[in-house]
Every structure is written in C-alpha cells, then in structure tokens.
Amino acid sequence: MKYIFVVSSRRIKQMLIIFTAVLLAIGIAYAERDTIAVFTGGDKGKVPQAIYKVDTNEKKIALTFDISWGETRATPILDILKEKKVNKATFFLSSPWSQRHPDIVKRIVEDKYEIGSHGHKHDDYTKYSDEEIRNQIGKAHTILTELTGKQPNLIRMPNGDFDKRVLHVAADMGYTVIQWDTDSKDWTNPGVDTIVKNVLSKAHPGDIILMHASDSCKQTHLALPAIIDRLRAEGYQFVTVSELIAGSQVKSEEVN
C-alpha cells in the first residue's frame, strides 16, 4: 500500500519562517556570548569582569581608599585604622602620587594593608587606544612593584571609568577591575554625618565600600571612626578585597 503525503505551500512557508527564526536566534546568541559572559561571571579564569560586590551571607566587608593627590589625609586615616584595630583594608594608589610619597606607601606596606593600582594618569582610559591603556597600567605596575616589593593584581580605574575594552586589556595584563557597591561620597565633602549615613544605609554582607584618602576629601578621617564602630556593632568583619572575592560568587554590572 502506498501513502501519499501532501503538504500545502502555506504549511511549507510557515515551516521555513520558523526555521529561519531559530537560525537567527542561534546566531544572535553566538555573537553575544562573550558580552554575556563578561557581565554574568562566566568562567572566572577566562572572562574579565568588574567586581562591585560579593554574594555572601557572611558579614564580611571591604573598606577601600583611593589616593591620587595630597599628603595630609592619608596618615590620619592610617592612624584611625590602627587605633581601631582594623587590620584589613585595601588602598588603590596612583603611581605618580606613590612616587611623590614613598614614605606613606612604606607605612601602608608596613601596616600590612592590601595595595591595588589606581593607574598612572588620573584620566578616563576609555578614550585611549589599547596600546595607551596598556602603557598607563604598565607604568603604574612597574612603579608600585618597585615601591611595595609586590606586584599588584587589582586595579580601580581613575574615577571608576571603564568599558569592555578596558576590562579586556586589564585582564590580559593580569588585573581584575574593582569597583564598589557603596559610595561614601566623601569626595563631595557633604558633612561627616552624611558620609556616615551614606555608608551605613547601604552597607551589606560582601560589600565593597568606596572612600578616599586624597587631600580633596576633608571629612573622611572624621567620619571613619563612627563608620568602623557602627559596622562592628552590627557584626561586620573587615577584610581585604582579595579576601572578600576569594572563592566567592562575584557580582558585576553591564557596561555599554
């Protein structure tokens, strides 16, 4: 017995449309696979990512301080950390500042705080070519390594400016870009109480807190004791950024 199957031209057209749509979807997914991986974590060993915070239930938190200029604010902050027995924090240092103030860099090293790079020129690296980005990161790397005796592997880009290209160049040079989830906004000098509120109202387990030890930030050292005391009272433990992200699921945000 013979069976004859008849498929209408309309049905064939519908099948072709569906097949084309599936192929298009697969093509888009394939083209965007790297973009998706960069900002969802992916394989940590292969894809670059900017880390804003860590997903953890443990009450661990990282205090971070950026320094780009000045000589009067860093020492009081170091004094307060020592007085309050905060033995873990991360300082992101620009290399020109570090060259001008090797004595302060030496103290940060002796106090055993973690040191990350804040680049060379305090500028927006997204406007640079790949070669110039490498040049800026490389200059800072050489200077900080000579001054501290240890190669940094964390970097906070000047003003927190970066894009996908900067992430890839930094990763190729062995760096992880570190951002923050809580901004103290101390750089606006809004008042001590406001700085304290800015931190405490948002601080959470796995948080990376942004503060500054440059001379333009005149109230950070005054707000820091209250921040430390109140976070401790809430059960938080202070750790370095490296300790925070070690073995944990990092959180990143998409960049345009």
Indicate the residue type of 142: T
Catalytic residue (one of 101, 120, 212, 221): 212
Q: In the annotation, is 66 catalytic?
A: yes
Q: How far apart are CA 141 and CA 177, in angstroms?
A: 14
Residues 30 and 46 occupy one common structural domain: no
Residues 166 and 196 occupy one common structural domain: yes
Residue 109 has φ and ψ, to the nearest 5°, of: -65, -45
Averaged over 43-69, what is the pLDDT?
A: 87
- pLDDT value of position 39: 32
Catalytic residue (one of 66, 181, 186, 207): 66
Domain membership of residue 4 (yes or no) is no
Closest by CA position to 253, among listed 126, 187, 167? 167
pLDDT tens-digit map of 159-173: 999 999 999 999 999
Task: Map tokens 């820091």 to a residue.
Answer: 224
Q: How far apart are CA 136 and CA 94, in angstroms?
A: 10
Indicate the residue type of 160: G
Write down the mean pLDDT value for the chain. 86
Which domain does 21 fall in, by range?
A: 9-39
Residues 27 and 96 occupy one common structural domain: no
Residues 167 and 242 occupy one common structural domain: yes
User: Is the confidence at residue 138, as pLDDT, over 90?
Assistant: yes
Residues 103 and 15 occupy one common structural domain: no
Domain membership of residue 256 (yes or no) is no
Domain membership of residue 105 (yes or no) is yes
Nearest-10 crossing angle of helices 74-83, 102-110? 10
User: Is the confidence at residue 105, as pLDDT, over 90?
Assistant: yes
Q: What is the CA radius of gyration of the chain?
A: 24
Number of domains in the chain: 2
Which CATH number characterizes residue 174's domain?
3.20.20.370
- pLDDT value of position 40: 30
Q: In the annotation, is 141 catalytic?
A: no
User: Is the confidence at residue 242, as pLDDT, over 60?
Assistant: yes
Residues 34 and 133 occupy one common structural domain: no
Residues 124 and 217 occupy one common structural domain: yes
Distances (CA, A) of 25 to 14, 29, 32, 39: 17, 6, 11, 20
Domain membership of residue 78 (yes or no) is yes
pLDDT band at 33 (very low <50, low <70, confident <90, very high): very low
**Could you count the other beta carbons within 10 Å of the beta carbon of residue 234?**
11
pLDDT tens-digit map of 180-225: 999 999 999 999 999 999 999 999 999 999 999 999 999 999 999 9
Residues 118 and 152 occupy one common structural domain: yes
Residues 33 and 123 occupy one common structural domain: no
Averaged over 52-70, what is the pLDDT?
A: 96
